[in-house]
Structure 1
Amino acid sequence: MITSADPDSFPHSVLAERHPALIRQVRDAFPYPPDRQQALDALAAETAWSAAGTAAGRIAPLPAGAHDEARWGRWGRPYVGQSWFEVPFLWAESYFYRRLLEAVGHFGPGPWQGVDPFAPFKRAELRGAAVAEELAALDEVPGLPREEQDRAVLGGALWGNRADLGFRISAGGGTDTGAGTGGEGGGGRGAGEDARDGVIVDDADRFWRHLGPAGPASTPSGATALHLVADNAGRELIPDLILLDHLLTTGRAATAVLHVKPYPYFVSDATTADVVDCLRRITEAPGRAGRIGARLWDAMTSGRLAVRDHWFFCAPLPYAAMPDDLRADLAQAAVTVFKGDLNYRRLVGDRHHPATTPFASLTSYAPSPLLALRTLKSDVAVGLDPDVLADLERDGGAWRTGGTHAVVQFRA
């Protein structure tokens, strides 16, 4: 199990550097009253790594009567009272964000109930020049051969996963919401670029063959719906919506379901409100983007594109532990696309797996065929060819955590 105990590890840097920077940014982004500011300061003190090289505080439980207190009480029973840096990294990250929402009063009652503490960052990103450039690049796609159109929209969704506000939080307190398309932590790539650059596992052809030229391949259930489990809002969610439009308009999917978080989770995780914001941004754009936005709007109002949420998407648990109702929902899918690093960690387990461990063996529990689109931003890596792994290790660098490499992994 991956933890943050090693001071030289990537997980340790997230807890010791990224989380304090995020608390400061959230505190500065709103005119929170003194009690909310004090709660944020208390969370910062509890989760800090001290100058003496030790954990400053111990994990405290949610206050009595808090929203979902019982559920988090069960999940946190083995960890409350321990150091934040010694418990499983996935649980520590998830619980940090749950505690952050508690500190700002998101679950109420009170005037701050329902206010997304990350909304200013998400909205700034949508207004940025990078989004305008990426939407304008869609005008190039119709001129491409069909196979290259498929590659372009899938590559956009894949590399859009680099557009992660949490990934771009800096210890200095800045958030890069307008990064260019080519740099580390940037967003999608232009339609003319080779989206396979940096992809260390590429099962895209298997995915397209499974869908077939006009509708999913035969499945035991006869399912024709495509499900997509979203990760981030803004510059990642827009390419996801464009991918869904492409699948619907080319007949690869008769209907589609977009799964989002029921409330804010990690910094830029997508909620229903974010879907609406992104859809409006696409619809208001000139050219082909605006036409795609209009089609998506019609697809949602007609029911061909549904948006759903589920409490489990904000749980610190692997997808192998998904509840029966979510399993039954995903079982209806011809394919379920899982976006992003956090979903990937939950798919295969947030562990130090040997990197050549087969992806299919770790996801055999999933109730339908699945495709993982993930830019590597954490230590987990599976399904790699031994020669590819050897080259990556020989070259050095933070290939597991720097957002410079990606995987497209399909399991029928």
Structure 2
Amino acid sequence: MPHKPHPPKPLRGAEPNTWAHSTITERLPEIVHRVIQENKFSAVIENALKTLYNEIPQSPIRFLKDTSAPDAEAWETYIAPHTAQNWLEVPWFFAEHYLYRRIIEAVRYFEIRQDPFIRQKQRGLEISLGAIESLAAKLNAWLGKGNVTKAQLEQMLTIDLWGNQADLSLWPADDKEKPHHANPKQAQQYVLADDREKASQYLTGLKRQKARVDFLMDNAGFELVTDLALADLLLSGKLTGTVKMHVKAHPTFVSDALASDVWGAVYTLKNGNHPEMRLLGERVYAHLMEKRLDLIPNFFWNSPRAFWDIPHPLRQELEKTNLLISKGDANYRRLLGDCHWPFATPLAKILGHFSAPVLALRTLKAEVAAGISSPEVERAQKTDAHWMTNGRWGVVQLTN
């Protein structure tokens, strides 16, 4: 059996003056309200959503009612330890995943297959078309010159890192307050752990066509396109033979990517008005058709479980990879079990139970982190009181 870490206590909404507390008391009800406002559901579904809205945060956690759902049995085991607790008393990671699973129950997703967040996802892609055109042009130019360089790979990792700032559970698609950096020089100042050079060196040293890279996918919209661009650079640049993208099995965290979101983004690229965008879309479409790029949904990524509790068959599959790229905040929190690790704890120590190298690309949106040196933590604390939650700060961390 893999050696599991001995984690500290998990974050909980009951901790006063924390992002976890404000998330549960303010953001989660607002997300439910937005689902009601943005969809034309039946009165029965609207009433179920309103009931959910009114439960947060003081009502006790209850078992799911859609007992015929494909994940119902698993959720019964997740919920059982928490039925005497309210939303603030349970671990924060559980509360958030439970919220989205309750939305799935309320909208009868497994019956009607209507994504309650689809409008936000589509809008997030639409408002990013200009940035996508620029990215496609840059990528096409690189690939047109022949061999991919380490400098190009580092730049693509940077683009993919900051693409993670697009998180619709925090900032709706049209929110003008969402974080961004004015230029690359400014963005560099906000990187607290930087293994881009090591990662590019590792990727360029793989056994090319025999190599495999896996992504733990995060947001749809612009971030998804940056993920596809990185995958295309690896595949078209012949740095790796296959790429596996692990996506969510049902809608969650508003903008998290499903397989259908990936296909939707590819068709948007392939049928776009801009020739550079179409060229990128055609290459990615070919990767999918030829199975060099594969999409793999799994209910574990919708669960409230820590990464060290990954089911054995999924662990076996993931450990075949040459590199697991963990995208975004929620995946990072899963890697750490969403626990109060000291910031300087090496990420490799926490992930010692997993045999494959992991590359974490994450902008910070939660009060949990590891592998950040004390001087860098002090610098962030002095510069920005909300450095852990506002999405302006990032890490690129490689365990190898």
Which TM-score applies when normalising by structure 2? 0.91
The equivalent residue for 2:55 is 46
Cα separation, partners in 2 of 1:178 and 1:243, compared to 1, 3 Å: farther
After TM superposition, list the pairs within 5 Å mapping 1:98-117 onto structure 2.
98-108=101-111, 113-117=112-116
State the shift of 1:24 in Å. 1.2
- Give the counterpart letter for 1:115 in structure 2: Q
**CA shift for structure 1 position 211:** 1.7
Matched AA of 2:366: S
> What residue is the counterpart of 1:94 in the other structure?
97
User: 1:3-402 to 2 correspondence within 5 Å?
Assistant: 3-48=12-57, 55=58, 57-63=59-65, 65-67=67-69, 68-108=71-111, 113-128=112-127, 130-141=128-139, 142=141, 146-168=149-171, 175-177=172-174, 179=176, 184-186=178-180, 196-212=188-204, 215-216=206-207, 224-285=211-272, 286-402=274-390
CA contact (8 A) 1:201 1:384 kept: yes
| 1:397 shift after superposition | 1.2
Give the counterpart letter for 2:124 in structure 1. Answer: E
Query: For residues 387-406 of structure 1, what are the alpha-carbon distances to aligned partners after superposition, in whole Å with 9 as ceiling and x for unaligned?
Result: 11222223341111110100
Q: Which moved more, 1:80-89 or 1:149-158?
A: 149-158
Structure 1: gaps (5+ residues) = 49-54, 169-174
User: Could you report, residue by residue, the CA deviation over 1:103-131 in whole angstroms, capped at 9, with x for unpaired residues?
Assistant: 111122xxxx2110000111111122x33
1:64 deviates by 6.2
1-side partners of 2:100 and 2:53: how far apart?
Answer: 12
Paired with 2:284 and 2:173, the residues of 1 have a C-alpha distance of: 28
User: 8 Å contact 1:376–1:406 — kept in the other structure?
Assistant: yes
2:213 aligned counterpart, secondary structure: strand
Larger relative contact order, structure 1 or 2 (CA cutoff 8 Å, min sep 6): 2
Q: Which amino acid letter does the alignment assign opposite residue 65 of structure 1? A: T
Aligned residue pair count: 384
Letter in 2 for 1:322: I
The one-character-per-residue Cα deviations of 1:256-279 (angstroms, maximum 9, x if unpaired) are 111111111211110011001111
Q: How far does residue 60 in structure 1 lie from its aligned partner after superposition? A: 1.6
Alpha-carbon distance in 2 for matches of 1:69, 1:242? 35
**Does the residue aligned with 1:32 lie in a helix, a strand or coil?**
coil
Distance 1:304 1:194, change over 3 A: farther
Percent pairwise identity: 30
Question: What SS does the aligned partner of 2:360 have?
Answer: strand
Preserved CA contact (<8 Å) 1:165 1:268: yes
Deviations 1:81-100 (A, max 9, x none): 31110110000110011001
CA change 1:115–1:202 in 2 (3 A) is same
Unpaired segments ≥5 residues, structure 2 = 1-9
SS of structure 2 residue aligned to 1:156: helix
8 Å Cα contact 2:214-2:318 kept in structure 1: yes
Contact conserved, 1:155 with 1:195, CA < 8 A, in 2? Answer: no
Q: For residue 96 of structure 2, what is the amino acid of its counterpart?
A: E
Opposite residue 44 of structure 1, the aligned amino acid is Y
Q: Distance in 1 between matches of 2:326 and 2:13?
A: 25
Name the TM-score, length of structure 1 as normaliser.
0.88
CA shift digits 1:224-259 (9 cap, x unpaired): 111111011111100000000001122211111111
